[in-house]
Chain A
Amino acid sequence: MPFSNLPLLVYIYQIWEEEGIEAIETWNVGEQQELEGDEESKLSIALDINSTCAKVAFFIISKSMNSPTPQFVPSRLGIYEPIHQIGIWGENFKSNGNPNTSTSVIVEVDNKLENESETTSHEMLTASNNYKQEASKPIDKIQRRLAQNREAARKSRLRKKAYVQQLENSRLKLIQLEQELQRARQQGLYMGGVLEGSHIGFSGTVNSGIAAFEMEYGRWVDVQHRQICELRTALNAHISDIELRILVESGIGHYFELFRMKSTVAKADVFYVISGVWKTSAERFFSWIGGFRPSELLKVLVPQLDPLTEQQILEVCNLKQSCQQAEDALSQGMEKLQETVSSTVAGGPVDEVSYIPQVATAMEKLEALVSFVNQADHLRQETLQQMSRILTTRQAARGLLALGEYFHRLRALSTLWATRPPEPSLP
């Protein structure tokens, strides 16, 4: 199929990165341009190693790349159907110095051989012929370069393929895990139901309450992290007490926000809150009635607050004691609740099929669980409030920073633990 009056070849391909080879080999002939002058200067001169972005653009060549020129064209290219333009394909890759992220494209070039008695082609032919007559030295150099480029491109393609494969596998794994999680959750909810038909609608509401909480909690953690960084910066920058107070107030308020969120979702599913499944594994390890222990909070804070005045030391000591007492009281109340529910469920004859009375009574008793979760959160809130009252603004800021950093580290610990290398299996 004849070409007619196509602009002459613009043939660009780029290989890049650690092959270290010429990034761009361009033969920039342009439109109706005559090839004149030194052959070497015409050919493959543009060496542009662009390590931060690879724009790949390739156009089709016209039939002008004819018989004399095959040696300049990668030999893997066969004869293709003429397409006027493969297209402009722009990709930006950021180089982060990682030699394994190179990528390459080789233009598929149509080098359909067509003889046409057109001025331009004729000129090209002449020029090419001239070129051919030159010493083979520049041709060798170019050929070598082309071969290197091809090799680099091939390697790059293989690497890219492997990487994509890896991504695909990870994606499948993720989908699998999500499905498992969903199934496990639903099983948990199913167990919580009593009678057959009743829990299907209920669990829909529960699910949406839980889903809403999870989304909000994710945001809460992000804001928490931001606040910690702000506190750290503020403390190092020695800003005024008034400005610091604002940060302290919003920090404390942020915890109160969490308690409000938990109160709402506890009404939907108190077991969800108590299980601590919404927290990371290390945090869960320390969980007490659906959250952190207030006494633990004080243990984390107080060492960070030196120096304290005599009065402060006394007040913190009193707070520690009353906090511990309140905690013990709630703990024992929870134990009592467990005993009560357990004996209710276990009660009654087992050789009868119907367990409805026992389970129904237990349901009533479990209502108390919501109160306990609320009381535990109330205790956490009061502890924070009292500490805020006892401490100076600067101390309170340091305390909030220490507390936030503590939970942040626990979360990091959870991640590290989850991704630790598997233990080698015994032979």
Chain B
Amino acid sequence: MDKVTRLASENGLVLFSKSSCCLCYAVKILFQEIGVTPTVYELDQDPEGREMERALMRLGCSAPVPAVFIGGKLVGSTNEVMSLHLSGGLIPLLRPYHSMC
């Protein structure tokens, strides 16, 4: 099992990011606003970062980061997260894994 899939299934909400990526930062802020704390993996700080990037692209992400997994399943990038949130689907999806304030 590749590292990405393994890490993604270890926690309810997983975010693959890069510390220099401002769009990833925006997604982090969004989760903060909702009141949830994702498990974040910064690919630029991981020795296997390049490999993980490639794995994410293989999974169908148009950009490797930000990549959001909920309950081990790939939700998508910024686009998908935003759409999900506006349609009211993000919070119900997160509820089993996180207690919201």
Binding site for B on A (CB under 8 A): 315, 318-319, 322-323, 325-326, 328-330, 332-334, 336-337, 340, 365, 368, 371-372, 375, 378-379, 382-383, 386
Of the stretches B6-14, B37-45, B52-60, B85-93, the one at the interface is B85-93
Q: Are B22 and A368 touching (Cβ within 8 A)?
A: yes
Bound together, the chains give a CA A368 to CA B26 distance in angstroms of 12
Between A and B, 21 residue pairs with Cβ closer than 8 Å are A318-B88, A319-B88, A322-B88, A322-B90, A323-B86, A325-B33, A325-B34, A326-B30, A328-B30, A329-B29, A329-B33, A333-B26, A333-B29, A336-B22, A340-B20, A371-B78, A375-B26, A375-B79, A379-B86, A382-B86, A386-B86
Bound together, the chains give a CA A322 to CA B88 distance in angstroms of 8
* Chain B contacts for A334, CB-based, 8 A: 22, 26
The answer, among B27, B63, B87, for a CB contact under 8 Å with A386, is B87
The answer, among B21, B23, B29, B85, for a CB contact under 8 Å with A375, is B23
Q: Are A322 and B29 touching (Cβ within 8 A)?
A: no
Pick from A326, A330, A332, A375 the residue with the most CB of B within 10 Å: A326
Does residue B25 face the partner (Cβ distance < 8 Å to A)? yes
Bound together, the chains give a CA A378 to CA B86 distance in angstroms of 11
Bound together, the chains give a CA A329 to CA B90 distance in angstroms of 15
Q: Are A368 and B78 touching (Cβ within 8 A)?
A: no
* Chain B contacts for A378, CB-based, 8 A: 79, 82-83
Q: Are B82 and A368 touching (Cβ within 8 A)?
A: no
Given contacts A315-B88, A322-B85, A323-B86, contact A328 B20 (CB under 8 A): no
The chain A residue sitting closest to B21, CB to CB, is: A368
Pick from B25, B27, B86 the residue with the most CB of A within 10 Å: B86
Q: Are B23 and A382 touching (Cβ within 8 A)?
A: no
Bound together, the chains give a CA A378 to CA B82 distance in angstroms of 8
Q: Are B22 and A382 touching (Cβ within 8 A)?
A: no
The answer, among A332, A337, A365, A382, for a CB contact under 8 Å with B82, is A382
Binding site for A on B (CB under 8 A): 20-23, 25-27, 29-30, 33-34, 63, 78-79, 82-83, 85-88, 90
The chain A residue sitting closest to B79, CB to CB, is: A378
Bound together, the chains give a CA A334 to CA B29 distance in angstroms of 12
Bound together, the chains give a CA A315 to CA B89 distance in angstroms of 12
Q: Are B86 and A336 touching (Cβ within 8 A)?
A: no
Bound together, the chains give a CA A318 to CA B34 distance in angstroms of 12
Bound together, the chains give a CA A322 to CA B23 distance in angstroms of 17
* Chain A contacts for B86, CB-based, 8 A: 319, 322-323, 326, 379, 382-383, 386
Q: Are B85 and A332 touching (Cβ within 8 A)?
A: no
The answer, among A319, A325, A340, for a CB contact under 8 Å with B22, is A340
Bound together, the chains give a CA A336 to CA B29 distance in angstroms of 11
Bound together, the chains give a CA A177 to CA B85 distance in angstroms of 46
Bound together, the chains give a CA A382 to CA B78 distance in angstroms of 13
The chain B residue sitting closest to A383, CB to CB, is: B86
* Chain A contacts for B20, CB-based, 8 A: 340, 365
* Chain B contacts for A333, CB-based, 8 A: 22-23, 25-26, 29
Q: Are A379 and B82 touching (Cβ within 8 A)?
A: yes
Q: Shortest beta-carbon distance, A60 to chain B, in Å?
A: 79
The chain A residue sitting closest to B26, CB to CB, is: A333
Q: Shortest beta-carbon distance, B87 to chain A, in Å?
A: 6
Q: Are B29 and A368 touching (Cβ within 8 A)?
A: no
The chain B residue sitting closest to A374, CB to CB, is: B79
Bound together, the chains give a CA A333 to CA B78 distance in angstroms of 12
* Chain B contacts for A319, CB-based, 8 A: 86, 88
* Chain A contacts for B78, CB-based, 8 A: 371, 375
